């Protein structure tokens, strides 16, 4: 038997990019053939897609991992590697994606909404890309970039036109089972409903029918807005309901009077989301067949005998139709999306190492062999263009400090212009030679003073 799961985690691993190729033309009667290494293919992306055929997040509970394909490596004769295969992950409509800290990233509230959860790594350039007038035979290429690897919290918020809200055992499940094909568990004790149920209600003839979705929200108790019981798990399914139908138990076994029930329920809704109190709502007294009071309600019903059910559905259909007209006249807002920051910045670790953070900086040094002089020169040029030298100087980096960019580590030395990443020859000067040069300069200054 399938289960309803409205909260799960996702581990999205995008594909790694393929490596660029170092190759030179090797043909008969062609001397000094130029570089012809192809580029690596980009890694595949992981996409989340809102799908109406998905009812819950059950598929993520035991298997949260989704991985895209890796890009292929480049080869000789300028043959580029193929791109990795994208993975489309279907999720229910109404899925909210959050960081592990709880920050909302995107709300997939409409069928077909797509969001890229993890971006594939870029493929590395082959050596043919680095051909220039100054560099006629580049003997280096780029490594493929690693794809993003991220964890997310997935949270399902049901999209219903009408939400049935009430205390446990108020008659919500009985009502939805009578007016729709939903079959929730029904019993004469509280908390028989532990997960939400959706039912489609249809009124009128086939030519002029009105349909709306009704949600049976499990019973709320006092303190639900503060998380008592499963309050937050239940209340989040009310957030997107167009109309609120508050059911008040009129039976002799009710936990409180109708006025007290209504006061508690409205207070919990307001404490959770104040804007919920502005939604169209209808207060309905249930169990009228055994009722002892009819105060503080808009109308009364008995879901068991069917009394008052037809008028209730008519009023709900009117409220839903009015809300839909208002929504149709209101421009749709953009999908909530928090872009992941990718700026380059410098930070100092507790061990004294300066760390350059940012995807662009990592891309600047992703060469296959940084012992190659031309590759090192190109990496330094890229870091200079990103302003890494200026950032280090402003942050207070001193001569000889260790700087790390991704997996690359080097020493930082001021240049003649006042600070920055020195030319490639300066990187090769040994520490002992620098100390000897400083000692000679000190002796020369002492001689001048004498």
Classify strands 104-108 and 162-166 as parallel, antiparallel or unpaired: unpaired
Q: For residue 289, what pLDDT is reported?
A: 81
User: Of 67 and 295, which is predicted with more confidence?
Assistant: 67
| pLDDT band with cut points at 50, 70 and 90 for residue 439 | low
| pLDDT band with cut points at 50, 70 and 90 for residue 188 | very low
Whether 177 and 310 share a structural domain: yes
Residue identified by tokens 């380059």 is 344
Angle at which helices 388-395 and 373-385 pack, to 10 degrees? 70
DSSP 152-193: EEEEE----SEEEEESTTSSHHHHHHHHSS------SSS---
Q: What order do you get walking across the sheet with 114-118 strand by strand? A: 87-92, 46-51, 114-118
Assigned domain for 364 exists: yes
| pLDDT band with cut points at 50, 70 and 90 for residue 110 | confident
Q: For residue 423, what pLDDT is reported?
A: 43
CA–chain centroid gap for 209, Å, is 38
Domain boundary at 132, 157, 182, which? Answer: 157
Q: What is the CATH number of the domain that holds 444?
A: 3.30.300.350
Assigned domain for 340 exists: no
How many residues are recorded in the chain? 450
Distances (CA, A) of 219 to 222, 227, 278: 10, 13, 21
DSSP 25-76: ---TT--S--B-PPPPPPPPPEEEEEETT--SSHHHHS--EEEPPPPPPPBT
3-state secondary structure 284-350: EEECHHHCCCCCCCCEECECCCCECHHHHHHHHHHHHHHHHHHHHHCCCCCCCECCCCCCCEEEECC
Domain boundary at 133, 157, 181, which? Answer: 157
Whether 135 and 68 share a structural domain: yes
Assigned domain for 141 exists: yes
Of the chain, the percentage scoring pLDDT greater than 70 comes to: 78
Whether 387 and 422 share a structural domain: yes
Name the strand (E) or helix (H) holding 382: helix 373-385
| pLDDT band with cut points at 50, 70 and 90 for residue 62 | confident
Q: Is pLDDT at 374 greater than 90 in this prediction? A: no
Q: For residue 220, what pLDDT is reported?
A: 65
Q: For residue 141, what pLDDT is reported?
A: 93
User: Of 85 and 202, which is predicted with more confidence?
Assistant: 85
Whether 173 and 252 share a structural domain: yes
Whether 297 and 220 share a structural domain: yes
Best CA proximity match to 131, nearest among 403, 374, 331: 374
Q: How far, in Å, CA of 32 to CA of 13, rounded?
A: 42
Please give the residue range of the domain that contains residue 291.
Answer: 162-329
* Tally of structural domains, the chain: 3
Contact between residue 98 and residue 104 where contact means Cβ atoms under 8 Å apart: yes
Whether 5 and 120 share a structural domain: yes
What does the pLDDT average to over 303-326? 87
Q: Is pLDDT at 307 greater than 60 in this prediction? A: yes
Q: Is pLDDT at 194 greater than 70 in this prediction? A: no
Q: For residue 111, what pLDDT is reported?
A: 82
Q: For residue 448, what pLDDT is reported?
A: 54
Domain boundary at 157, 191, 218, which? Answer: 157
Q: For residue 119, what pLDDT is reported?
A: 94
Q: Is pLDDT at 398 greater than 70 in this prediction? A: yes
Whether 167 and 206 share a structural domain: yes
- pLDDT tens for 344-361 read 889 999 998 999 998 889
């Amino acid at each position: 038997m399938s289960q309803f799961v409205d909260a799960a985690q996702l581990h999205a691993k995008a594909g790694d990019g393929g490596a660029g190729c170092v190759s030179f033309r090797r043909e008969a009667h062609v001397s000094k053939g130029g570089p012809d290494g192809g580029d690596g293919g980009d890694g595949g992306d992981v996409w989340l897609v809102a799908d109406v055929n998905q009812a819950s997040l059950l598929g993520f509970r035991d298997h949260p991992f989704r991985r895209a394909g890796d890009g292929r490596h480049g080869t000789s004769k300028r043959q580029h590697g193929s791109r990795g295969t994208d993975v489309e992950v279907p999720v229910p409509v109404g899925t909210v994606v959050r960081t592990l800290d709880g920050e909302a990233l995107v709300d997939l509230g409409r069928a077909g909404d797509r969001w890229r959860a993890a971006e594939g790594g870029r493929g590395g350039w082959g050596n043919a890309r680095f051909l220039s007038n100054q560099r006629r035979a580049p003997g280096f290429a780029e490594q493929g970039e690693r794809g993003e690897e991220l964890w997310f919290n997935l949270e399902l918020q049901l999209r219903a036109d009408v939400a049935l809200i009430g205390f446990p055992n108020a008659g919500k499940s009985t009502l939805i089972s009578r007016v729709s094909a939903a079959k929730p568990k029904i019993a004469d004790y509280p908390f028989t409903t532990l997960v939400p149920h959706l039912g489609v209600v249809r009124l009128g003839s086939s030519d002029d029918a009105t349909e709306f979705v009704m949600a049976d929200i499990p019973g709320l108790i006092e303190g639900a807005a503060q998380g008592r019981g499963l309050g937050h798990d239940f209340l989040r399914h009310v957030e997107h309901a167009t109309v609120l139908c508050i059911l008040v138990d009129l039976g002799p076994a009710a936990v409180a009077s109708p006025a007290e029930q209504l006061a508690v329920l409205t207070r919990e809704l307001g404490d959770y989301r104040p804007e919920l109190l502005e939604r169209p709502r209808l207060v309905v007294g249930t169990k009228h067949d055994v009722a002892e009071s009819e105060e503080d309600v808009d109308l009364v019903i008995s879901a068991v005998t069917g009394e008052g059910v037809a008028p209730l559905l008519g009023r709900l259909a009117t409220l839903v139709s009015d809300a839909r007209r208002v929504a149709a006249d209101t421009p749709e807002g953009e999908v909530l999306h928090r872009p992941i920051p990718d700026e380059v910045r410098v930070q100092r670790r507790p061990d004294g190492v300066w760390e350059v953070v940012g995807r662009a900086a990592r891309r600047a040094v992703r060469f296959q062999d940084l012992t190659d002089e031309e590759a090192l020169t190109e990496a330094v040029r890229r870091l200079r263009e990103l302003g890494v030298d200026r950032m280090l100087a402003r942050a207070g980096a001193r001569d000889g400090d260790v700087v790390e960019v991704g997996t690359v580590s080097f020493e930082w030395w001021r240049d003649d212009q006042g600070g920055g990443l020195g030319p490639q020859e300066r990187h090769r000067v040994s520490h002992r030679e620098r100390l000897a040069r400083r000692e000679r300069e000190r002796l020369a200054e002492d001689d001048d003073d004498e």
